[in-house]
């Protein structure tokens, strides 16, 4: 999109700095070929090979560890020593909890009460203080706690350091697949796609970054089509099985990146998400959560909407509830 950008975008220098900070904590995840998906998704485009960036193999099961570590590492040490605050539906909560554990500090994390029990339990197991709130208080309650305690907030997506941390994914893709034509990225609050697009603009300028959302939580796709940031109601986004993509709108800074550096945002159906989750589990041997499978779903079911050439799908997380996995596989 070409309308004027009013916010300074995250730079490649910030992303390289993030890569240095997270080294030794976040994994360099593998880029895996998916030959089983070539025929299913390529249509008439013989070059539309799919590769999977397996971020679900991170220590806490999702890409979020990159941004969390970078944001906490960037804090003044004296401020960091007092602990941090965050809010999340699950994966960012676990990432902040683990990053705080790395730094030996406390983490107070607000989680909406419709989050998967497995993600809540995993966050508590990492030593964080978890506070469950109604979905409507996901964003207001953390601000109240911040006013009471003065602890620094580690936002899930609307933060330069978080975005820069997520952008380190692109640096790894560029080294292994410099000929990539399309990078497919799940979209929730927009931190992941912002970081990937910001880095791609510098190191993969010929690659098109395309966001993927569930139809039932398609606020970013609707915003992209309208040319303005839109907000959906909590009861709308709560309908999707992709629990990590249920945010009501993208963040302000992510929106600046999306409209300046993202080629398109498309949506996938619930059945398509389930199919991609099933295929990733059974054929790629990657037990992706539904949120992490939406990018693969775009390749499998919407190949005609995508530009030709080599594609990388970000498999963003693998913290799937066992009951959900059983249901999908059955």
Q: Any catalytic annotation for residue 101?
A: no
Cα separation values, 123 from 56, 67, 70, 84, 151, Å: 16, 16, 19, 14, 19
Distance CA 142, CA 87 (A): 7
Nearest residue to 268 (alpha-carbon basis) of 244, 307, 230, 242: 242
Distance CA 175, CA 11 (A): 18
Catalytic residue (one of 89, 249, 288, 316) = 89
Q: E strands along the chain, which residues?
A: 31-33, 50-54, 84-87, 107-112, 129-133, 182-186, 208-214, 264-268, 311-315
Distance CA 145, CA 228 (A): 31
Q: Any catalytic annotation for residue 194?
A: no
Cα separation values, 264 from 68, 197, 267, Å: 27, 11, 10
* Three-state DSSP class for residue 101: helix
Nearest residue to 316 (alpha-carbon basis) of 176, 185, 156: 185
Catalytic residue (one of 53, 64, 119, 208) = 64
Residue 314 DSSP class = E
DSSP letter string, 252-290: HHHHHHHHHH--EEEEE-HHHHHHHHHHHHHTS-----H
* Three-state DSSP class for residue 311: strand
What residues are labeled active site? 64, 89
């Amino acid at each position: 999109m070409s309308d004027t950008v009013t916010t300074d975008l995250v730079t490649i220098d910030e992303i390289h700095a993030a890569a240095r900070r997270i080294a030794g904590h976040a994994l360099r995840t593998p880029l895996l070929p998916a030959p089983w998906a070539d025929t299913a998704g390529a249509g008439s485009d013989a070059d539309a090979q799919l590769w999977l960036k397996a971020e679900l193999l991170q220590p806490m099961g999702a890409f979020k560890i990159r941004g969390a570590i970078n944001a906490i590492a960037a804090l003044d040490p004296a401020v960091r020593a007092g602990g941090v605050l965050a809010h999340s539906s699950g994966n960012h909560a676990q990432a902040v909890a683990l990053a705080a554990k790395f730094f030996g500090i406390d983490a107070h994390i607000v989680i909406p009460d419709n989050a998967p029990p497995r993600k809540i339990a995993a966050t508590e197991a990492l030593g964080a203080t978890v506070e469950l709130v109604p979905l409507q208080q996901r964003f207001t309650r953390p601000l109240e706690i911040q006013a009471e305690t003065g602890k620094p907030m580690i936002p899930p997506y609307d933060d330069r350091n978080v975005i820069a941390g997520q952008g380190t994914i692109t640096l790894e893709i560029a080294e292994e697949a410099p000929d990539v034509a399309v990078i497919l990225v799940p979209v929730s609050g927009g931190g992941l796609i912002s970081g990937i697009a910001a880095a791609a603009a510098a190191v993969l300028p010929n690659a098109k970054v395309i966001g993927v959302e569930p139809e039932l939580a398609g606020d970013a796709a609707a915003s992209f089509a309208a040319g303005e940031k839109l907000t959906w109601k909590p009861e709308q986004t709560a309908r999707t099985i992709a629990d990590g993509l249920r945010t009501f709108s993208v963040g302000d800074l992510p929106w600046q990146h999306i409209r300046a550096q993202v080629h398109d945002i498309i949506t996938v159906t619930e059945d398509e998400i389930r199919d991609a989750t099933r295929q990733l589990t059974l054929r790629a041997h990657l037990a992706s959560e539904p949120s992490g499978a939406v990018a693969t779903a775009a390749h499998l079911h919407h190949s005609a909407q995508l530009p030709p050439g080599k594609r990388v799908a970000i498999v963003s997380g693998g913290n799937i509830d066992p009951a959900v996995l059983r249901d999908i596989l059955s």
